[in-house]
Chains A and B, each alone.
Chain A
């Protein structure tokens, strides 16, 4: 007990840990929420670009204040500078992709590396004026959060969150259907810029904690995790905020226990969280998908069972089915029988399986397909001994009026090549309608 106490409680008493927790949670919360829109608009790459571009802005802001007023490391002006740099980068990207044949993703790649490089060069040229640690900028330092950073991040969190909550419907509509949004008079372009500004603000305040490289992860990973779990935007945003906060908390503990880099630990925890959800998500997860695939009964097995029972013309025992129905996997027949019972195609008695009325109808359609295919094969000169096995494979091709086509082409035969009666066409055979 005391060990657990030590592991969880002790870090909380440290000031650096408290600050990291508060600042990190604020930033992660809002970046999760705004990240949802980033993910849904496929802007992830732009988020990455903004984080890199801001170094030029930070350097510019630093330099301006230093040279004009002699103030060292003035946080607000650096924040403003990075915002300006971000907006400028976005404008340049738009310009390049509009006026040339260069596509947007390439334009983003060109512009952000360019602006980032400019920032790096400026910082290194003016290194006697600017005391920015490039390494700190790239890797971040969540355990060394300054009070000014803390205030900035909390302020950003409050601002961005209010904008997103107040204009939730506008952002939702403009993201989902920009054409309709514009047609109802929403200022779509303005909303785009507002969102870009929000992303920039979040990125700028997150960079000091997790660094340039990892900030895009904080923006999109919690949102993507939530995307796997929710079918409504408001819930997705709520969940993304939760995942953002949990990754900061989990990551910080990881970091003190393992004595590792703070930003890295946070993002590692965040990614692990995503992977776990990717596997276990109830609808869109890998496990659910696998279970669905497993539960899926091959239509072919169902049809084979139907036709076997129909041919027997009495209650059919399981061994008979095993003899006539071919399955790929041993469990498939039982699965099919269970499913068919649920669907009301067959019923079970002591003597074996029997077709219900619906099952009988369905079975006759399969038989009709089988015998028409046989007739067709005979008409194109298939050897007699190959007729049955080939038709047995082909009888499952029944969609889109295939059977009716065969019927018409062969002149609506009454008997198949073996002299057996071909069942007539069933009228309302459209049980596939309205299925998603």
Chain B
């Protein structure tokens, strides 16, 4: 139908450094719309930096990032962000509903109050992640999976087409992981592009349409069958690959 679709996120020759060490080196990748993309790589491979660069939160040394064809610094607010659970102060005096409402702040000018429509949109987003019943709870009183869902609701309430999630599956049980994944897939079918930092290689193939394999450099970008290659993984994960030997065997058997 459409001849040329603008990629949701286009990263060109991105280099970000902390001192002499590059956190990311010459990463170029174009992420198409309506995709569930996983970002994988060992610890310290620049996954979080990659996410923060797309948010416009870290300044690249070289390279540019285009969000829907527009420079990232001009595209503020078009990318929604779900932080790592460890990065949130769960004792903060704030309720579930207020967190969701934060997603609407960028649409509200400073001299005006949050409108009833915004409140409705926030509640709707909470409904999408099935958290309406908890609207008046303080966020520290929720289980790990519920907390994750509240922040998903905030991202949905933002109305952004691109969602970035930093390790949403870290430290939740299998049932919760399923529930979160379900929400992600629903968001995808609603036309969102989701980029998810993920640490579990055993589930990566099953969850994502495409995978980005990072370790400072971009090692691969493509469908899981192409990325989860023994040769590539052994390059990136070096000696720690034995753990995945099993997985490789399973992949081969399919």
Contact = CB atoms under 8 A, between A and B. Distances in A.
A182 B57 contact: yes
Interface string B88-108: 110011110010001001101
B67 to A, nearest CB: 11
Interface string A166-182: 11011011011101101
Interface string A411-436: 00000000000000000001001111
A233 B102 CA distance: 13
Q: Which of A167, A170, A179 has the largest number of chain B CB atoms within 10 A?
A: A179
B94 A233 contact: yes
B93 A173 contact: no
A221 to B, nearest CB: 16
Contacts of A232: 93-95, 98
A182 B59 CA distance: 12
Contacts of B105: 169-170, 173, 184
Given A183-B55, A435-B143, A436-B141, A230 B106 contact: no
Main secondary structure of the interface of A (DSSP, over half): helix
Given A177-B88, A183-B76, A231 B57 contact: no
Give the bracket for the number of chain A residues in contact with chain B.
Answer: 20 to 34
Nearest to B142: A436
A281 B49 CA distance: 42
Q: Which of B108, B110, B141 has the largest number of chain A CB atoms within 10 A?
A: B110
B83 interface: yes
Contacts of A231: 93-95, 138
A185 interface: yes
A170 B108 CA distance: 11
Contacts of A430: 175
A169 B143 contact: no
Nearest to A39: B93
A397 interface: no
A182 B79 CA distance: 11
Contact of A173 (B55, B79, B89, B102): B102
A227 B81 contact: no
Interface in B153-185: 154, 158, 173, 175
Interface in A46-105: none
B57 A179 contact: yes
A185 B93 contact: no
Nearest to A434: B143
Contact of A179 (B87, B173, B175): B87
A276 B81 CA distance: 40
B18 interface: no
A236 interface: yes
A340 B143 CA distance: 24
A375 B79 CA distance: 56
A182 B80 CA distance: 11
Interface string B64-89: 00000000000011011101000111
Given A167-B110, A177-B102, A179-B83, A227 B77 contact: no
Given A166-B111, A169-B108, A180-B102, A230 B87 contact: no
Contacts, number: 80
Contact of B77 (A40, A176, A185, A235): A185
B51 to A, nearest CB: 9
B83 A180 contact: yes
Contacts of A166: 110-111
Contact of B76 (A40, A170, A184): A184
A180 B89 CA distance: 14
A346 to B, nearest CB: 27
A184 B77 contact: yes
Contacts of B89: 40, 176
Contacts of A233: 92-94, 98
Contacts of B114: 169
A180 B104 CA distance: 12
B77 A434 contact: no
Contacts of B77: 183-185
B79 A183 contact: yes
Interface string A234-255: 0110000000000000000000
B52 interface: yes
A179 B95 contact: no
A177 B83 contact: yes
Contacts of B173: 433
A172 B143 CA distance: 23
A173 B55 CA distance: 16
A43 to B, nearest CB: 13
A179 B76 CA distance: 12
B55 A182 contact: yes
Interface string A199-226: 0000000000000000000000000000
A176 B55 CA distance: 17
B146 interface: yes
A341 to B, nearest CB: 26
Contacts of B93: 40, 227, 230-233, 235-236
B56 interface: yes
Contact of B146 (A176, A185, A236, A434): A434
Q: Which of A166, A172, A176, A227 has the largest number of chain B CB atoms within 10 A?
A: A176
Contacts of B143: 434-436
A169 B94 CA distance: 12
A236 to B, nearest CB: 5
Interface of A: 40, 166-167, 169-170, 172-173, 175-177, 179-180, 182-185, 227, 230-233, 235-236, 430, 433-436
Given A176-B89, A185-B76, A233-B92, 9 more contacts: A167-B110, A170-B110, A172-B102, A179-B52, A179-B87, A230-B93, A231-B94, A433-B175, A436-B141
Please give me the 3 A-B residue pairs with the lowest Cβ-Cβ distance, nearest first: A185-B76, A231-B138, A184-B106
14 contacts: A166-B111, A169-B114, A177-B83, A177-B88, A182-B55, A182-B57, A183-B57, A183-B79, A185-B76, A231-B94, A231-B95, A433-B173, A435-B143, A436-B146
